[in-house]
Amino acid sequence: MRFDRMIADEVRIEPRDWMPEGYRRTLIRQIAQHAHSEIIGMQPEGNWITRAPSLRRKAILMAKVQDEAGHGLYLYSAAETLGVDREELLDLLHQGKQKYSSIFNYPTLTWADMGAIGWLVDGAAIMNQVPLCRCSYGPYGRAMVRICKEESFHQRQGFEILHTLSHGTPAQKAMAQDAVDRFWWPSLMMFGPPDSASTHSAQSTAWGIKRFGNDELRQRFVDMTVPQADVLGLRIPDPDLRWDEATGHYAFGAIDWDELDRIIRGDGPCNAQRMERRRTAHEEGAWVRDSADAYARKHAAAATTTSDAA
């Protein structure tokens, strides 16, 4: 079959190519979930824009939050090439029928959390998303290229915030450590359940959507991050963390998978607040969408009149 040959030959699938219904559904699910994560992810960071400690920090954080909105837009556009409408996807999010990343259901309690999110959450995002640039579906892979470039900047800015704090006063260092203590384990959960419990990994890998399993990417993230924690002078909150000569990787402690399950089911510290704010923002933005529609209609009508006249 042509589709299978294209996948085997690493030829990209484009919107007009025939694809199995399951491939299309899997992509819509994953891309929509990813897009929703980007726009819900604006909330925990938006929480600190008015309280950033300097004008420089505020400007950087605003740019980062705007980038997240942009990522959401590229991703909704990529999903639309599969024949769904973004309005439909947002309805599914608002009805709780589509997910977003577990990580955004934790509160951002201090300024250091902006550092921990940048360093750990964006660091995990990069590890997961760089392989997605090679996703077999063209529009998703291409959207990921720019997203990953911007995520690298986000990760560096988070590292820099934590570096400044960890080399500041004892209170600032303690604040940085506390943020890392709270975000470390949730960041490891971002990669999804272990491969043995993953519903979609095998099929998504066979289709060239996922390039690596959840566990492999999680391990790569730990291996990349632990030496960075040493540079920061911060401790990873895992008593079982150790370098394993035999495997050439860091061994780490057990992840609380019940916590991930609870959060995915909607029972995390901030799930209700995040969803309520999202629905409210959507309702309050209705006039913007209506105005944009009216403007587009007016211009389309003017273009028709002009081309008729010509």
Spatial separation of the C-alpha atoms in residues 162 and 111, rounded to whole Å: 10
Is residue 24 involved in binding ligand BYC (CB under 6 A)? no
From 188, 42, 151, 46, select the one nearest 104 (Cα to Cα).
42
Cα distance between residue 237 and residue 54, in whole Å: 29
Q: Which of these ranges, 26-34, 83-91, 228-236, 269-277, lies near ligand BYC under the rule CB under 6 A?
A: 26-34
Minimum distance from residue 294 beta carbon to ligand BYC (Å): 31
* Residues numbered 51-70 forming contacts with ligand BYC, rule: CB under 6 A: 68
Query: Which residues 118-157 are close enough to bind ligand BYC by CB under 6 A?
Result: 121-122, 125, 128-129
Least Cβ distance, residue 14 to ligand BYC (angstroms): 20
State the residue for tokens 């909105």: 69
Minimum distance between the CB of residue 305 and ligand BYC, rounded to whole angstroms? 43
**192-211: which residues touch ligand BYC (CB under 6 A)?**
192-193, 198-201, 204, 210
Q: Can residue 113 be called a binding residue for ligand BYC (CB under 6 A)?
A: no
When binding is defined by CB under 6 A, the residue of 189, 222, 229, 234 that contacts ligand BYC is 189
* Nearest-5° Cα angle at 41, 37 to 47: 160
Provide the residue type at 206 as one letter. Answer: A
- Pick from 7, 28, 37, 218 the residue near ligand BYC by CB under 6 A: 37
Q: Are 6 and 208 in contact (CB under 8 A)?
A: no
- Are the C-beta atoms of 139 and 205 separated by less than 8 Å? no
Using CB positions, name the residue nearest to ligand BYC: 41
Binding mask 241-280 vs ligand BYC (x if CB under 6 A, - otherwise)?
Answer: -----------------------x----------------
| Binding of residue 43 to ligand BYC (CB under 6 A) | no
- Comparing CB distances to ligand BYC, the nearer of 81 and 198 is 198
Could you tell me the smallest distance in angstroms from the CB atom of residue 71 to ligand BYC? 7
Determine, following the binding rule CB under 6 A, whether residue 30 of this chain makes contact with ligand BYC. yes
Residues that bind ligand BYC (CB under 6 A): 29-30, 33-34, 37-38, 41, 68, 99, 101-102, 121-122, 125, 128-129, 189-193, 198-201, 204, 210, 214, 264
